[in-house]
Amino acid sequence: MRRRTFITLLGGAASRSASAFAQAPPRVPRIGLLLTGSSAISEAFRQGLSQFGYFEGRSIIIEFRSAGETEELLQHARELVKLEVDLIVAGATPAGRAAQQATKTIPIIVSAMGDPVHDGLVASLSRPGANVTGTTFLGPELVPKRLAFFKELLPNMSRVAILWHPGAYGEHTMSEMRKEVSNAAATLGIQLQFFEAQTPDSIDEALTAVAGTDIEALFQARCYSICGDVSLIL
């Protein structure tokens, strides 16, 4: 009798356990969002996901981190890895490089990379390989073309200011972007003057310096590390 009672109780417990397991809510995917810019981009990201039926706190969880310095980005990337996020979305090359250093297994999507191949983020554009993919604006190739288009709009333009962050992308990319835009300027008969800004606070100072010159134009291309949505501003 005792044996039958024990088996009955064990069976009931197993049944309740199986029922509770079956009713356990599914795991909510967790996305790590690592940016070098403002929270405005974060909000746009959330709105974009909601348009496809992904709502924060319900169908997904977003872990947002933002920093302007390389070491801070790396620290945040490591935090996201410890949180066991399912995916890391990185805004531009600096955040992508930090995420890449932090994990070799979690998928990483990087937006607006300057030159992902030479910056060491992917093996090639056609076959990225490893755990990194994303989009690129082909900085070294396209920045001089933008300057040429600008010259078409303002044919009499001869002096252009460039506000830039030398560490916005990889050393090779920044060097190539500066070389290519300088070559294009020489061909177009444009004099370039570079103004460096490495932090958001230094942008106003740089623009004040630009205003004190005889510069005729300031053309914006890219500047993620300091502006959030704008490496090179022409």
Are 157 and 150 spatial neighbours (Cβ–Cβ below 8 Å)?
yes
Summarised one tens digit per residue, pLDDT across range 9-50 is 445 555 555 555 555 567 889 999 999 866 678 888 899 999
pTM, full prediction: 0.69
Domain 139-233 is of which CATH architecture? Answer: 3-Layer(aba) Sandwich (3.40)
Q: At what angle do helices 171-188 and 139-153 cross, to 10 degrees?
A: 30
- CA nearest to 159, candidates 191, 189, 186: 191
- 143 — pLDDT class (breaks 50, 70, 90): confident
Lowest mean pLDDT among 21-25, 83-87, 205-209: 21-25
How much is the average pLDDT of 162-179? 82
pLDDT at residue 22 in the model: 54
Integer angstrom CA distances of residue 227 from 55, 142, 143: 27, 20, 17
**pLDDT band at residue 145 using 50, 70 and 90 as cut-offs:** confident
- CATH no. for 30-136: 3.40.50.2300
Domain 139-233 in the same topology as domain 30-136: yes
Domain limits of the chain?
A: 30-136, 139-233
